[in-house]
Structure formats: C-alpha cells, structure tokens
Chains A and B, each alone.
Chain A
Amino acid sequence: MINWTRWLMQVLAIILVMLVERVIGIPMLSIILTSLFCSRLNQVWRYGLLLVSSLIIAALFMLPLSRVVMILGASLLWLNYGKSIVASRFIRLILAGAGGAVVLMFSSYGGVHWQYLIYVFIVTIISFLGLKRRKLSL
C-alpha cells in the first residue's frame, strides 16, 4: 500500500532540489533523488514519479520530455540492474546521477562546461561523505 503523503513529499523534495539546480545549471541531484525514490516504489508509482520528475526537469531546463524520460529511465535501470557491473549500490547511484546529468546536458546543448563538472565532482564528494557519515541505507 503506497503512502500518498510520502509520495508527495518525495515529489516536493525533488522539485525543491530541481529549482536550486536550475539556478546552478545541471540536474545531477535531481536525477539521483528521482532514481533513488523510484527504485523503492512499486511499478505504478515508480513510473508515475518518473514521469512527474521528467516533466518538471523538461519544463525547468527547457529540454525535450522524451529525452528526459529516456535518461531517467536508463538511470533507474542502471541503479536496479547494474549490480553485476558495479556491486556498490551507492556508487551506481552516483554514476547514474553524474552520467545521466552529463549525457542530458551534452545531448541537449552540445557540450558541458567545466563549471558543471566541478559541480558534479562536488556533489559526488558531498554525497559520499554525507551518506557515509550518516550510514544511510540505500
């Protein structure tokens, strides 16, 4: 049984992160959060969240919706089924966020600025330290 309130809170958290990332320029944390939340839901709610998240990314970042769905879908699949390639779920999640964000930017704008890569690097380090310290289960 899905908890509606929890689902909405997840959507709100993603929206908040997306708004901040829109000002910064690259939706890495948004992809990480979407993949993480989606992977914990059952199929109907998972794809509902994926679509809502994609729609907001597409609107805020002025990107084609189908491309965003494709990238988020690929990140989700990678997170759930990439165990045989990368065993650690945490590293898969970070790779999904960083890879997805860079591919999305590159395919849409034809390039990625070095500032974005610094942001990706910083987010990776902070996520790594933060999650390790709090020992959050992924």
Chain B
Amino acid sequence: MLGSRNHLVSELLIIMVLVMLTAIGEWLGFVQPLTSSLERFSKPALIKLSQLVGLMNQPMVLTKKSWHAARRVQDLEREYSHALATVSKLEYVEQENQELRRLLETQERPQSGVVASKAISYGLPSVSVGQVEGISVGQPVLAAQNLVGLIETVSVHQSRVSLLAQNITRPILAVTESGVEGIVVGDGKKILLTEIPKDVELTVGERVMTTGQEFIQPRLLIGQIQEVIDRPTAPTKQAIIKQLVSFYEAPILEVQL
C-alpha cells in the first residue's frame, strides 16, 4: 500500500515536471517548430483521410438527398432560370461599369487574394492552410462562392473554421435581396438572420448576402431564407437561413485574404 503510494507520488511529480517543462518550452517557442513540422508532414495524410471519410459518407448523403430529389431539381431549375436572367442583367451592368471606369480613368481596384484549400477534419472543421499561406483569424471561408464560415484559429499549416451555424461570437452584417438588413449568427445548429425590425416583410426563398465588414467583402452569398420566426413577445424578428452548399461536401474551399 505504502509502496503504491510512493509510486503514485513519484509518477505525479514526474508528470508535473513534464507539464512545467513543456509549458516553459511553449513559452520560449521551442515547441512550435516541432508541432509545425508535424503539421506539415501530416497534411497530405489528413487530406487523403478526410477524402476517404467523405467517400464513405457519400451513400448516406445520397440516400438522405434522394428523399427530396424531385422537388430539389424543380427548385434548382427555377433558380437556374432566375440566375440566367440575373447574369444577363449583370453583363449589361458590367459593360456599363467598364465604360464609366474608362471615362473616369480610374484604375481597377485590386482584388483581394484567395487561397484554395481542402477540408482536413469534419469533427473540428479545419482547412489545410495556415499562417504560411497568409491566413489570419476572421477571414471568410467560401465553398462555391458561398460564405460557409470564418477562420477561428490559425496555426502554421492548418486553420480551424467556425461554421456559420456555430458562429456565435462573430456576428456578420447581412442584407436580403429586398434590402432588409440584419445580423447573421449561429445558434449551434442553425444559421439565423437576427435583429430584423417587426414592420418589414421577409419572403421565404430570398437570398441573404453580406453587407461588408472587416475581412468580409460585400455581396458574398450566405444562403436563402428558409423560415421566418416572428414571436409576438420578441422585439424583433428572426429568420432561419438555409445554405445552398455545405462545408463538408465542397470538394474545394477558398479562404479570402
């Protein structure tokens, strides 16, 4: 009994010394080169493994989607025709814009960079780019030009993403197609457009886009209004936003610098 107690005390002391040494090593910056090398070497394996997990998950995703496939195709056809109409309008506006620019002899605004990346974790959404690629906290993560999350933590070769549904701490300013402004936050499961005045009308299916703030460009598509929640006791309205793409299903992700 006494021997076991002595062993416990000695092991406890060794572990405490190890914890202190590693803490000092972290503080002095000796640990970071080691962890960043490990990150770099593990990156290809993580990408392959997450692709494998994605493939294994594919039958489940397809089964889930096939329930509503017919209706989804109809919706997509309608959205496609709508998008075509918008594109033709935009082409005209772009042409007009270019002519005006030429007249004003202004230089084209420099576009901010975009870094392509792959997802390396599904449980803790992460992308395979980090400080080396110029990533910093708060930058938007896009899947097929849709805003799906923000960079939450950055290390040398990887970054953790806070998906919009989990994004409770960094509100995003947003506007709907009809011009209603609100704040996009997550509640852990859903993406919500909040702080909408009671007297404005919101239509289900309206697109929601960013208005622009630090790191986040304006006019980035967030999703479509799925449901409007108007509680009589609440001072403002809320709407649930449905995303058209998913972080987990996108073959490639982009981070806007």
Contact = CB atoms under 8 A, between A and B. Distances in A.
Interface in A32-86: 43, 47, 50-51, 54-56, 58-62, 64-66, 69-70, 73-74, 76-77, 80-81
A23 B53 contact: yes
Contact of B15 (A23, A24, A77): A77
A79 to B, nearest CB: 11
A60 B19 contact: no
Contacts of B31: 55, 58, 65
B123 A60 contact: no
A106 to B, nearest CB: 13
Interface string B31-51: 100111011001001100110
Q: Chain B interface: which size bin?
A: 35 or more
Interface string B43-80: 00110011001000000000000000000000000000
A61 B124 contact: yes
Given A22-B46, A23-B53, A24-B123, A69 B39 contact: no
Which 5 A-B residue pairs are closest in the complex by CB-CB distance?
A25-B123, A73-B15, A59-B38, A66-B23, A59-B35
Interface of B: 4, 7-8, 11-12, 14-15, 18-20, 22-23, 25-26, 31, 34-36, 38-39, 42, 45-46, 49-50, 53, 120-124, 126, 153, 155, 158, 160
Given A23-B123, A69-B18, 17 more contacts: A19-B45, A22-B121, A24-B121, A24-B122, A24-B123, A26-B123, A51-B18, A55-B31, A55-B34, A59-B34, A59-B36, A60-B42, A65-B31, A77-B8, A77-B11, A80-B11, A116-B123
